[in-house]
A and B are shown apart, each in its own frame.
Chain A
């Protein structure tokens, strides 16, 4: 019967046809034999796709990974996490400081004096026998030049919003008749300059300067706002740190256009352009102006002391000739869009980036891969790999499978997967500390967390080492404070809290909490009771939640727990400061600027110091760290700040997790020695744990090489 035959033969044929395709697919071993080019390709697997390949617009990690290969910044971090020049050959940081002549104040033993006498006084002080105060001595020696700026008049117009009510901002005119001003050029940035000078000019010299009388504002505005405007227009003292970058000559963008100082200026302007909605705007807000001195020299002047500023220039530089107003207008017209509304965000450049980094962008298939090719004219010498594939594989298990099948050279390997692969002779594995930590934060506005003894006791009751061992499979380390552990800002002498439930009970007793007959801790008839919350979707945090709850219950604390969806967690609880204790993590940059997280001014709703940590000494240090440009001095401040935070325990600092990586052993570092002989070396991570640091010298060999000293 034909129908019956058809019903059986058709599916059988389809299945046979589908199955036979197996014989055409190469296995792991056949891949590099069948296609020797495969050895020159590096394929890495990522969970998520990039969004915008434009360093000033993107904020996600996938995009920045690609951007780092396509674009080049002026500087970056070297093996020791210190800055080194990239597009900038060298740089110099100095300071220009200003202050207005205060005709109200009287200078000690001289009375009221004019600008000329002030200059004379300073020059004399400089030449005099060094003063006993070392800070004053350093400040004076640091002054290179003193210039008198004559009095001048200027007019500022700006838009001012009225009160908090929305509505049209109104234009105000500020007429300033500024008194003479003194400009000091310093060899190095000195945040204590004016403190030192006030020892010479009198304690009150800068403080009593009153700008009000030099300013006329039309129309009148309310006095509070007025004094703010005056403060801005006529600041008594001003620090203007200056960075001068010497750029590398003969560097070209991938399209052959030479790179120069105008590109740097353009990149800065693009970030500041409100039309572009750059998420990096706040990094560059302290910049006063960027000037091109000559095509290979840029001068950047800052409005105020802001030491994290240098690090911001690690950002990729955009090619001006492709993105300036003219180019964008042309593109808008070509694609039939309104040129007035068209911004860099809409440009096709974001999907076809051009920079001057080691790899040239070739192709991007959304949710499939991004392909880069080696840039042969890269200024530091081209990388060894000729192609770089960034594959998007959303599932961690299938990433591992692709790795086994040889169609991915690297992937985000999980701790338990590393355990499996460690024994395998085919692979080499790496691990290192990541830049971030997990913590339990306490709402210090609430009882009982306003008592540091209670916070300490809570920390002591949790066995963090066990958490690391069982929850993280050993892939973590304890951390005691808010700095990146592998930098020298981190104070290594601070010991983590010991696991000591008895000691915790003693501390709680000191704080007035005693066990009642039922075993619960009580104070004035009230039970020690609170809710610990975290967000859903993070298994590690969920596990910690249970561990902490159990540990605290054992010493008699009645802990409730709650797991909330991320958006609810952030918007309803964290932002509105409605929580007792929570488990969260921070990922950090290398810069030790803790202003947003720990300064007392950041404790309001929707700000990041949501635990409400307020400590005067800490505030002072946070500001000093922000303003200090000298690395060693900064380290000293950081160590003190770390101590304070560790003593106060606003968080129970839990751990910093380790990242892990696995590579085929055939991937090695290829170098040429002085005689032109090629040598292969094993990939070794840098001191700070970055194994990708020498990526440009990696290559894959057909066979696993034997290294000397290794059998």
Chain B
């Protein structure tokens, strides 16, 4: 076990190094300049552009820039080029906002997919299963932004209440319970939208897992013994079907960062995804690279957790 952890960590550090190099190169080799060095602004003389480039170390060779960037990152001194704010502080603020979307979205995904998937598996081939299949594929194929627009337009034009942003603007200072409820209302649509894709996919997984387990011999034996149908489904089949999902838990970690660029932009949600997206547009390299680095770390940590979890729940696995 310990040797596994040690071996695994070393591997992951090496991977992380390569990720950092590649993401650094991708960003710097892409055409375009940081928006503060906009060369087509007639007010910018070439000398000024040059001075900006010096300030950002853009005139140095890439290797040196790389060293500068990661030195600053690990000492916590990176600042955004756009507004000179410390990057880590910005990331942390945005992370807190994204966290809510993530929590509610994950909660919806994981609580809804199981009943839907299990029922599909039990009554496979029936009208319920067919319509569940239909809607799953519909939700998987429908573009997220389009679905978001449709939902927003329907809600606003029929209910006449605001849905964008984290809270209703111009509310003044309402009592705390109203404030909380208002926040929850604003969480509802974006987290639901974030969850739809997940629900569609995950309920499919649950269905196929359940079906696979239900065709196992021991399930047939249980039935033959006269165990009540419900107990067969929920005690014998479900428990074993759950195994692969335990590992998926670790893999949702990177979703904390990457999963919500579109939804956050549409809903004007001040989260991580939106910050990263806008940083890319403005070529704000420190932000882009920091977010990139953090998500790489999260992916690696996520896979590590998955491995460990699998080992814990399934004693047959030895690492």
Shortest beta-carbon distance from B132 to chain A in Å: 15
Which of A22-30, A70-78, A151-159 lies at the interface with chain B? A22-30
Question: In the complex, which residue of chain B has the Cβ closest to the Cβ of A11?
Answer: B111
Q: Which of A28, A395, A397, A571 meets B39, CB within 8 Å?
A: A571
Shortest beta-carbon distance from B206 to chain A in Å: 11
B188→A43 contact, CB < 8 A: no
CB of B181 within 8 A of chain A?
yes
Which of A34-42, A257-265, A286-294 lies at the interface with chain B? A34-42
Secondary structure at the B interface, as helix, strand, loop or mixed, is helix
Q: How far is the CA of A389 from the CA of B171 in the complex (A)?
A: 12
B181→A21 contact, CB < 8 A: yes
A1-36 interface mask toward B, CB cutoff 8 Å, 1 = contact, 0 = none?
Answer: 101100110110011011111111111110100110
B170→A21 contact, CB < 8 A: no
B151-163 interface mask toward A, CB cutoff 8 Å, 1 = contact, 0 = none?
Answer: 0110011011111
Chain A residues whose CB sits within 8 angstroms of the CB of B32 once the complex forms? 565-567
Known: A37-B172, A366-B90, A392-B268. A52 touches B234 (CB 8 A): no
CB of B114 within 8 A of chain A?
yes
A281→B165 contact, CB < 8 A: no
Chain B residues whose CB sits within 8 angstroms of the CB of A623 once the complex forms? none
A393→B172 contact, CB < 8 A: no
B199-236 interface mask toward A, CB cutoff 8 Å, 1 = contact, 0 = none?
Answer: 00000000000000000000000000000001101110
- Of residues 325 through 368 on chain A, the ones whose CB sits less than 8 Å from some CB of chain B are 345-346, 350-351, 365-368
- Of residues 583 through 604 on chain A, the ones whose CB sits less than 8 Å from some CB of chain B are 596-597
Known: A395-B266, A570-B39, A570-B40. A4 touches B230 (CB 8 A): yes
Q: Which of B42, B178, B184 meets A18, CB within 8 Å?
A: B184
Known: A14-B111, A25-B185, A401-B152. A366 touches B84 (CB 8 A): no
Chain A residues whose CB sits within 8 angstroms of the CB of B39 once the complex forms? 570-571, 575, 606
A25→B165 contact, CB < 8 A: no
Q: How far is the CA of A28 from the CA of B111 in the complex (A)?
A: 34
- Of residues 78 through 103 on chain B, the ones whose CB sits less than 8 Å from some CB of chain A are 82-85, 90, 93
B266→A25 contact, CB < 8 A: no
Q: How far is the CA of A389 from the CA of B182 in the complex (A)?
A: 19
B188→A19 contact, CB < 8 A: yes
B41→A25 contact, CB < 8 A: no
Q: How far is the CA of A52 from the CA of B84 in the complex (A)?
A: 9
Shortest beta-carbon distance from B272 to chain A in Å: 11
Chain B residues whose CB sits within 8 angstroms of the CB of A568 once the complex forms? 31
Q: How far is the CA of A574 from the CA of B42 in the complex (A)?
A: 14
A395-414 interface mask toward B, CB cutoff 8 Å, 1 = contact, 0 = none?
Answer: 10110011011111000000
Chain B residues whose CB sits within 8 angstroms of the CB of A282 once the complex forms? 43-45, 48
A248-289 interface mask toward B, CB cutoff 8 Å, 1 = contact, 0 = none?
Answer: 000000000000000000000000001001011111000000
CB of A51 within 8 A of chain B?
yes
Question: In the complex, which residue of chain B has the Cβ closest to the Cβ of A398?
Answer: B164
CB of B140 within 8 A of chain A?
no
Chain A residues whose CB sits within 8 angstroms of the CB of B185 once the complex forms? 21-22, 24-25
Q: How far is the CA of A3 from the CA of B57 in the complex (A)?
A: 60
Chain B residues whose CB sits within 8 angstroms of the CB of A392 once the complex forms? 268
Chain B residues whose CB sits within 8 angstroms of the CB of A18 once the complex forms? 104, 184, 187-188, 192
Question: In the complex, which residue of chain B has the Cβ closest to the Cβ of A394?
Answer: B265
CB of B19 within 8 A of chain A?
no
B48→A279 contact, CB < 8 A: yes
B268→A27 contact, CB < 8 A: no
CB of B33 within 8 A of chain A?
yes
CB of A322 within 8 A of chain B?
no
Known: A4-B230, A25-B162. A367 touches B270 (CB 8 A): yes
Q: How far is the CA of A369 from the CA of B45 in the complex (A)?
A: 32
Q: How large is the interface on A (under 10, 10 to 19, 20 to 34, 35 or more residues)?
A: 35 or more
Known: A24-B178, A405-B162. A51 touches B82 (CB 8 A): yes
CB of B288 within 8 A of chain A?
no
Q: How large is the interface on B (under 10, 10 to 19, 20 to 34, 35 or more residues)?
A: 35 or more
Chain B residues whose CB sits within 8 angstroms of the CB of A35 once the complex forms? 170-172, 174
Question: In the complex, which residue of chain A has the Cβ closest to the Cβ of B145?
Answer: A395
Q: Which of A21, A59, A575 meets B188, CB within 8 Å?
A: A21
Chain B residues whose CB sits within 8 angstroms of the CB of A25 once the complex forms? 161-162, 168, 181-182, 185
Chain B residues whose CB sits within 8 angstroms of the CB of A608 once the complex forms? 42
Q: How far is the CA of A17 from the CA of B104 in the complex (A)?
A: 12
CB of A455 within 8 A of chain B?
no
B268→A398 contact, CB < 8 A: yes
Question: In the complex, which residue of chain B has the Cβ closest to the Cβ of A588?
Answer: B42
Known: A280-B43, A391-B165, A570-B40. A398 touches B267 (CB 8 A): yes
Q: Which of B51, B164, B181, B238 meets A401, CB within 8 Å?
A: B164
Q: How far is the CA of A345 from the CA of B275 in the complex (A)?
A: 21
A1→B162 contact, CB < 8 A: no
B161→A26 contact, CB < 8 A: yes
Q: Which of A26, A393, A571 meets B165, CB within 8 Å?
A: A393
Chain A residues whose CB sits within 8 angstroms of the CB of B66 once the complex forms? none
- Of residues 110 through 134 on chain B, the ones whose CB sits less than 8 Å from some CB of chain A are 111-112, 114-115, 118
CB of B143 within 8 A of chain A?
no
B234→A4 contact, CB < 8 A: yes
A11→B112 contact, CB < 8 A: yes
Chain A residues whose CB sits within 8 angstroms of the CB of B266 once the complex forms? 395, 397-398
Q: Contact residues of B with A, CB < 8 Å?
A: 31-33, 35-36, 38-46, 48, 51-52, 55, 82-85, 90, 93, 104, 107-108, 111-112, 114-115, 118, 149, 152-153, 156-157, 159-166, 168-172, 174, 177-178, 181-182, 184-185, 187-188, 192, 230-231, 233-235, 238, 265-268, 270, 274-275, 278
29 contacts between A and B (CB under 8 A): A1-B234, A3-B235, A7-B114, A8-B115, A11-B108, A11-B111, A18-B184, A21-B182, A24-B178, A25-B182, A25-B185, A60-B35, A277-B52, A279-B44, A367-B268, A368-B165, A368-B268, A389-B169, A389-B170, A395-B265, A395-B268, A397-B149, A401-B164, A402-B164, A405-B156, A405-B160, A567-B31, A571-B31, A597-B42
The 5 closest A-B pairs by CB, nearest first: A24-B181, A567-B32, A405-B162, A35-B172, A21-B185
Q: Contact residues of A with B, CB < 8 Å?
A: 1, 3-4, 7-8, 10-11, 14-15, 17-29, 31, 34-35, 37-38, 41, 43, 48-49, 51-52, 59-60, 274, 277, 279-283, 345-346, 350-351, 365-369, 389, 391-395, 397-398, 401-402, 404-408, 565-568, 570-571, 574-575, 596-597, 606, 608
Given contacts A10-B111, A20-B181, A281-B45, could you give 11 more A-B pairs where the C-beta distance is less than 8 Å?
A: A18-B184, A34-B171, A35-B174, A38-B172, A43-B170, A52-B83, A59-B36, A367-B270, A395-B265, A395-B268, A566-B32
